[in-house]
């Protein structure tokens, strides 16, 4: 069976490269789909727009969600996918720069499973990615 | 002396025309002496302290009689019961002495002077009104004379008349004084006063009423009280209420004066009665409250203005706060992303190209990384500083000692290899924002921890001291301290007194502490000597 995919919602290309590098360095081999804004993320999840025809019941193993995004921001993506039957149990890890209390509280209120603040120190960031990969891709038992 | 009885009415008339009590007596003395042929007459009344009898200044001397006796008499006073005036005062009866030159000094204390003046016969009579002696009249003549009833009768009769005239005069004087006093009181009042008849007609007014209405007294008296108000019906209801209840308190009416201006007043009124308790009318006092009302209106306007200004300022402040919030949100997100790239790709270079880079290139990349991490720390600390200012204060009782113990435990756990002794006074409870006070203590104790890192055995103390009658809390350490010359820079953001390589830090911690103390309305200051530790004091 194919490994389930990871959806990375991130508009900053540098951050995309660094996140992929961190996943790679930690031997996380799952395929990573990158969505550069909120619309693209929702299109992927619901099989619409450029992802028309994709089976939306195939929920990603984990969604790594940045909050500050063009068009539709991360919190709205989270809100919409939690409202949809098909994606309401999808594991969502908010991965963002912000340490603002308001972002944290709203993320958890909208049903985020984790909230990780991307550290500037890449070594620390890599460690965080390792741990989240271990937890969500290996230890966690998803909804059947 | 034959027609003396006919002269009595003329004398009485003259007496009653006298302007006061003393001149009435003066007139009586003169008339009696002239009519009956006595050469000298004087009168004795009670002194103002009522201890003795003294002579009233006016005395009668017929032409040719010695003025010397009159002058000497003026210096005499008689205690009650002593001398002729004193005896008569008590007995209320006349005395006749045929020849004063033959009687003792006890009986007639002025005998010696009388003898020198050549006086012989003497008659003293009381002037009585009701039961009271008003004065004693004493007459003397040059002849010696046995008691003669016709003298006694005439003079006693005159004295009796005199008594009633004087009494009437005195009462009149008293009444006039009382009336004048009352009138003065009424006129002195700044409040318009009016008396109103049971028919609602104005019976009397004072000057203030003329002032407020602009109408002279003669034109007010006799007119309807209610005519002078914007609501006559209401005014009528007012005085009817006084007649039925006996009074009104603060009854509001508006006077329309002669120029058409409206003056708001409050009426206080009571009925007044005659001696038999019969209601005569209403006594009403108005208080002009137009100025108070105007002032109230002014205050209301100013308040409304203030309210508007506050709303405007609040709106501006809210807008500024929102902007600041958006700014720091943006800082939090956007300033950090490039730093991640700088650090991340430097690390990627080190990892992927470590083999082709020489030691110096690697050192440069390491410096790039540590600089970006340091900048990240600066951003975080700045955000904390700005959050301290924006945060809403939630006051409650905060146990600083408990907080200090918790922070100390955390510090010891983070660096268990260090040997630091904490002395924390128990039970230091203040009123403040728990979260802000925690941040403040974290900074102060954290600093003490940091700047004692070079000490073999460090001591950090948290306690309270009474300075200028105020509890001043302090954090004291035996660390490296600082030079007091730079104390003023201590609490400014980004100011550091030590090298980054000696003691790391962003220079924002104490600025944050100061803001927290400021927000609590307190003060913070520090004392130190380089190399000998530092003490940070604060009050709240």
Q: Is residue B387 part of a domain?
A: no
Say if the Cβ atoms of B383 and A98 lie within 8 Å: no
**Residues of B with CB below 8 A from A97's CB?**
332-334, 336-337, 340
Region of B196 (left: φ > 0; alpha: ψ -120 to 50; beta: rest) is beta
**Is residue B322 domain-shared with residue B284, that is, in the same domain?**
no
CA dist list (Å): B461 to B406, B469, B474: 14, 21, 8
Neighbouring residues of B245: CB distance < 8 A, sequence distance ≥ 6: none
Whether B510 and B432 map to the same domain: the answer is: yes
Percentage of residues of chain B with pLDDT beyond 70? 99
The separation between CA B424 and the C-alpha centre of its own chain, rounded to angstroms, equals: 50
Tens digits of residue pLDDT in B435-472: 899 999 999 999 999 999 988 889 999 999 998 888 99
> Which H/E stretch holds residue A95?
strand A92-96
Tokens of B318: 């809210």
CATH of domain A6-137: 3.40.50.2300
Say whether both B247 and B307 belong to one domain. Answer: no
pLDDT of residue B6: 74
Is B132 a residue whose pLDDT tops 70? yes
B226 within a domain of the structure (yes/no) = yes
Chain B residues with CB-CB distance to A68 below 8 A: 333-334
pLDDT tens for residues B207-251?
999 999 999 999 999 999 999 999 999 999 998 999 999 999 999
Best mutation site among B344, B345, B383 for testing chain A: the one with the most A CBs within 10 Å? B344
| Together in a domain, B14 and B74 | yes
pLDDT tens-place string over residues B15-74: 778 877 788 888 888 888 888 888 999 999 888 888 889 998 888 888 776 788 888 888
Residues of B in contact with A14 (CB under 8 A): 337, 340-341, 344-345
pLDDT > 70? residue B4: no
Q: Tell whether B45 and B140 lie within a shared domain.
A: yes
Domain coordinates in residue numbering, chain A: 6-137
Mutate to test the interface with B, among A122, A124, A125 (most CBs of B within 10 A): A122
If DSSP states are collapsed to H, E and C, what string results for B221-285?
Answer: CCCEHHHHECCHHHHHHHHHHHHHHCEEEEEEEEEECCCCCEEEEEEEEEEEECCCCCEEEEEEE
CB within 8 Å: A97 and B369? no
Please compute the mean of the pLDDT values over residues B117-129 and round it to a whole number.
90
pLDDT at B330: 79
Of all helices (H) and strands (E), which one includes residue A92?
Answer: strand A92-96
Q: Are residues B272 and B163 in the same domain?
A: no
Query: Mean pLDDT in chain A?
Result: 90
Residue B97 is assigned to a structural domain of this protein = yes
Considering the domain architecture, whether residues B280 and B312 belong to the same structural domain is answered as no
Cα–chain center distance at A21: 16
Owning domain of residue B339:
298-371
Residue B137 half-sphere exposure toward CB, CA atoms < 13 A: 31
B152 and B33 both lie in a single domain: yes
Chain B CB contacts of A67 under 8 Å are 333
The answer to whether B380 contacts chain A (CB < 8 Å) is yes
Low-confidence ranges of chain A (pLDDT < 50): 1
> Is residue B365 included in any domain, yes or no?
yes
Three-class HEC string of A20-68: HHHHHHCCCCCCEEEECCHHHHHHHHHCCHHHCCCCCCCCCCEEEECCC
Residue in chain A nearest B338 by alpha carbon: A14
Same domain, B414 and B502: yes
Residue B452 lies in a domain: yes
Q: Does B376 touch chain A (CB under 8 A)?
A: yes
Q: What is the CATH number of the domain that holds B41?
A: 3.30.450.40
Q: What is the mean pLDDT of residues B112-128?
A: 89
Shared-domain flag, residues B31 and B166: yes
Chain A residues touching residue B347 (CB < 8 angstroms): 122-123
Beta-carbon separation of A122 and B373 below 8 A: no
Average pLDDT of every residue of chain B: 88
Please check whether residues B165 and B309 belong to one and the same domain.
no
Name the helix (H) or strand (E) containing B55: strand B52-55
Contacts with A, B 317-356, CB within 8 Å: 328-329, 332-334, 336-337, 339-341, 343-348
CA dist B123 → B41, B86, B97, B120, B406 (Å): 9, 14, 6, 10, 115
Report the percent of chain B where pLDDT is more than 90: 46
| pLDDT of res. A141 | 81
Q: Could you give the 3-state DSSP secondary structure of residue B166?
A: helix
- Report whether B352 contacts B345 (CB < 8 A): no
Interface of A to B at Cβ within 8 Å reads 12, 14-15, 18, 21, 67-68, 96-100, 118-123, 125
Same domain membership, residue B439 and residue B341: no
CB B59 within 8 A of CB B70: yes
The CATH number assigned to the domain holding B441 equals 3.30.565.10
**Over the stretch B158-206, which tens digit does the pLDDT of each residue have?**
888 778 877 887 788 888 888 899 889 888 888 899 999 988 999 999 9
Taking an 8 Å cut-off on Cβ atoms, the answer to whether B345 and A97 are in contact is no
Choose the closest CB to B333 out of A14, A97, A121. A97
- For residue A1, the model assigns a pLDDT of 47
Q: How many domains does chain B have?
A: 4
User: Which among A98, A119, A121 has CB closest to B333?
Assistant: A98
Classify A107 as helix, strand or coil.
Answer: helix
């Amino acid at each position: 069976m194919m490994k389930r995919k990871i959806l990375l919602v991130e508009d900053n290309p540098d951050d995309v490269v660094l996140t992929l590098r961190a996943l790679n360095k930690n031997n996380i081999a799952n395929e990573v789909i990158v969505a550069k804004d909120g619309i693209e993320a929702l299109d992927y999840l619901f099989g619409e727009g450029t992802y028309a025809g994709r089976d939306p019941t195939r929920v990603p193993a984990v969604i790594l969600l940045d909050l500050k995004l063009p068009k539709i921001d991360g919190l709205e993506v989270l809100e919409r996918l939690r409202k949809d039957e098909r994606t309401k149990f999808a594991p969502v890890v908010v991965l963002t720069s912000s340490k603002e209390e308001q972002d944290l509280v709203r993320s958890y209120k909208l049903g985020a499973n984790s909230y990780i603040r991307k550290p500037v120190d890449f070594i620390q960031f890599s460690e965080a990615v390792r741990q989240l990969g271990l937890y969500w891709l290996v230890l966690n038992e998803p909804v059947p | 002396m034959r027609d003396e009885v006919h002269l009595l009415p003329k004398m009485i008339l003259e007496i009653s025309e006298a302007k006061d009590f003393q001149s009435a007596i003066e007139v009586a003395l003169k008339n009696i002496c002239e009519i009956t042929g006595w050469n000298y007459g004087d009168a004795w009344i009670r002194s103002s302290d009522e201890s003795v009898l003294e002579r009233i200044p006016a005395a009668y001397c017929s032409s040719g009689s010695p003025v010397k006796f009159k002058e000497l008499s003026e210096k005499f006073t008689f205690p009650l019961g002593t001398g002729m005036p004193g005896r008569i005062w008590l007995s209320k009866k006349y005395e006749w002495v045929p020849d004063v030159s033959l009687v003792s000094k006890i009986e007639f204390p002025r005998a010696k002077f009388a003898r020198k003046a050549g006086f012989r016969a003497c008659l003293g009579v009381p002037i009585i009104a009701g039961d009271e002696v008003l004065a004693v009249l004493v007459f003397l003549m040059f002849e010696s004379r046995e008691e003669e009833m016709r003298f006694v009768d005439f003079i006693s009769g005159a004295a009796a008349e005199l008594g009633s005239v004087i009494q009437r005069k005195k009462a009149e004087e008293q009444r006039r004084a009382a009336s004048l006093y009352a009138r003065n009181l009424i006129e002195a009042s700044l409040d318009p006063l009016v008396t109103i008849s049971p028919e609602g007609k104005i019976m009397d007014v004072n000057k203030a009423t003329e002032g407020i209405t602009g109408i002279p007294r003669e034109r007010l008296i006799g007119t309807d009280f209610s005519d002078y108000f914007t609501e006559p019906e209401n005014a009528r209801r007012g005085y009817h209420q006084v007649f039925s209840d006996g009074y009104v308190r603060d009854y509001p009416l508006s006077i329309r004066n002669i120029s058409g201006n409206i003056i708001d007043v409050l009426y206080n009124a009571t009925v007044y009665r005659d001696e038999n308790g019969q209601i005569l009318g209403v006594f009403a006092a108005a208080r002009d409250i137009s100025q108070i009302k105007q002032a109230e209106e002014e205050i209301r306007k100013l308040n409304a203005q203030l309210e508007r200004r506050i709303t405007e300022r609040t709106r501006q402040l809210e807008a500024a706060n929102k902007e600041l919030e958006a700014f720091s949100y943006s800082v939090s997100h956007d300033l950090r992303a490039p730093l991640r790239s700088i650090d991340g790709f430097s690390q990627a270079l080190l990892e992927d190209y470590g083999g082709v880079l020489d030691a110096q290139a690697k050192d440069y990349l390491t410096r790039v990384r540590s600089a970006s991490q340091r900048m990240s720390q600066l951003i975080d600390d700045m955000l904390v500083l700005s959050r301290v200012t924006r945060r809403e204060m939630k006051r409650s009782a905060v146990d600083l000692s408990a907080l200090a113990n918790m922070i100390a435990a955390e510090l010891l756990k983070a660096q268990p290899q260090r040997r630091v002794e904490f002395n924390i006074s128990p039970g230091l409870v203040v009123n403040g924002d728990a979260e802000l006070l925690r941040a403040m203590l974290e900074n102060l104790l954290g600093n003490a921890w940091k700047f004692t890192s070079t000490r073999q055995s460090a001591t950090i103390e948290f306690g309270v001291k009474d300075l200028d009658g105020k509890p001043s809390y302090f954090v004291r350490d035996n660390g490296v301290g600082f030079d007091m010359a730079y104390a003023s820079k201590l609490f400014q953001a980004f100011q550091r007194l030590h090298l980054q390589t000696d003691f790391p830090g962003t220079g924002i911690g104490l600025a944050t502490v100061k803001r927290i103390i400021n927000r609590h309305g307190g003060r913070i200051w520090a004392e130190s000597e380089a190399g000998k530790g530092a003490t940070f004091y604060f009050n709240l």
